[in-house]
Structure 1
Amino acid sequence: MTSIFPHLSLADPINEKVALLVQNYGDAFHSFSLVVLKYLLVPLESGLRIMPPWLLLIFAGLLAWHATRKLSLAALFVLLLYAIGAFGLWDKLMQTLALMLVATVLSIVLGIPLGILCSQNRWVRRGLLPVLDVMQTLPSFVYLIPVLMLFGLGKVPAIFATVIYSLPPLIRLTDLGIRQVDGDVVEAARSFGTSRWQMLIGVQLPLARPSIMAGINQTTMMSLSMVVIASMIGSRGLGEDVLAGIQTLDVGKGMQAGIAIVILAIVIDRISQGYGQERRARMAISANRRARVQARQSARSAGLGEPETAGDTASRHV
């Protein structure tokens, strides 16, 4: 049967480009991976594995209590993490946690500035949105192929694949949170000479904090899921047991590691949500006060006197 479709293929051009990239910049990628291992991943993982488990459990309980203000919930989280140690998976839990923390920190360092840039420049936003769409719609396994060719097997390619996979939600929600700050609050501060930097630091970012924290929460969860998938290229950790369970049809081993991953995801999710939702009103009031102070200072420096209604206007709309 004659086909009406022409023969098109992206495989050969992509393979040629990747091979050229590896040939020209392979040494640079290798050096960069050594820097990430030496200064980020290895110290963090070694510190977590050397630290006594009881100390980490206490720290996790205090962190959960500080985030949620619920002692019973913090105690439950400690018991759940203790159960992972009882499964004999504590060492692998620390490996997974170290990978996830490094990937999340790198995502935050890249994502929040890019989100701020998108909110301040519509052309940057228009150019970046299609890239984010592609990053979010590509299957997670596809990210493993190029990083595997550039960095080889191990934990470094797992980190970079995780960063690419988990970055879009943080950029989008940072951009959305800043753009959704009440326009009247922005105008109330801008009318008294507040600079763009003062506006961003003193008004927009504090009021956009719930949205930014939601982005950090989503990025953290996606980092954890991708770190598990990245066990296929040698990242180790809890995902290694899941993969071994699949390969050997050991359902019990795979389920045990899967339950440990679920426990870790629940604990991290509730803690990050607690920091994002708690004291939201307090942060809004604080941002309102800073806006009023900056507006008054700008008015005094301009010789306009201290405004009487700027604070009331900002308070009413916050």
Structure 2
Amino acid sequence: MSSTDDRRFEVLRAIVADYVATKEPVGSKVLVERHNLGVSSATVRNDMAVLEAEGYITQPHTSSGRVPTDKGYRQFVDRIAEVKPLSPGERRAILEFLESGVDLDDVLRRGVRLLAQLTRQVAVVQYPTLSASSVRHLEVVALNPARLLLVLITDTGRVDQRIVELGELIDDAGLSRLRVLLGSALEGKRLAAASVAVGELAENAPASLRDAVIRTATVLIETLVEHPDERLVLGGTANLTRNVADFSGSAGFPGSLRDLLEALEEQVVVLKLLAAAQQPGTVTVRIGEETQIEQMRGASMVSTGYGAAGTVLGGMGVLGPTRMDYPGTIASVAAVARYIGEVLAGR
């Protein structure tokens, strides 16, 4: 890349930085005063004219400064040389806060709340996907001789409790045999494989337990084939109200706040974006129209996958206006995703 192109990128980077910080269009005079660009004001004006002609910046109002376009933000994000790292204290505080979660639900709620506070945007996290979860343990408890409590625990921390109404009474010896049968069929298997294994139990079950096995298997299969990957936890939605101007629907700010809120309500829209950005250790940034979702034309999404031991359990990220602190947001999303994965792996 030529020195001229490098200089123009520095001008673009300065415009992005000032606009993110001030919410105001940026003029050449301000750029020269605030940034050590090493060139004259006339050169900066010329560079801004070229950047505008190439679609990297635009002039939202007559006689005003310039603001970045989606193309300009993309160029800026693609050339981020360094993502601002979190301090050791910040990393330690994140891990301690997440480790205090009592179960999967609590860890995920803490994760989105923390990410929303760090970025001052909307944070979203997807529950661990069905295909990635395995059965860690199944507990079978007799509430009385005709009713059982099943407690299914997965390796991702998901806990499901279900009641089984038995057609025949079961004694302690029968309960022990049933517990062994179910545990051997389920534990250590991915949920889809566990569902198949449980469905085959009745064929070889002792006659005295066949009815209990069938009733228990029916309840378990319903639990195993549910789709927790279709559930989202959201945090910080109120942060959008701090940036109403970014969703005004004008030429410089496509889309509207109502459109974005409707997209958040239609969780399948957000899940689609998260599902497409789950490479371990890789943060994906979609800017404006890159989301390919009409309601989100004025928004950006920074997302990644979380998990452990090379297995991605789900997606998480941040949603906000295209005018956001991309380096800081990328660092925060990467850090929280990493530590959620570590916490879940240790349980």
TM interval, short-chain normalised: under 0.3
- Between Structure 1 and Structure 2, which shows a larger proportion of strand residues? 2
- Between Structure 1 and Structure 2, which shows a larger proportion of helix residues? 1
TM-score (norm 2): 0.23
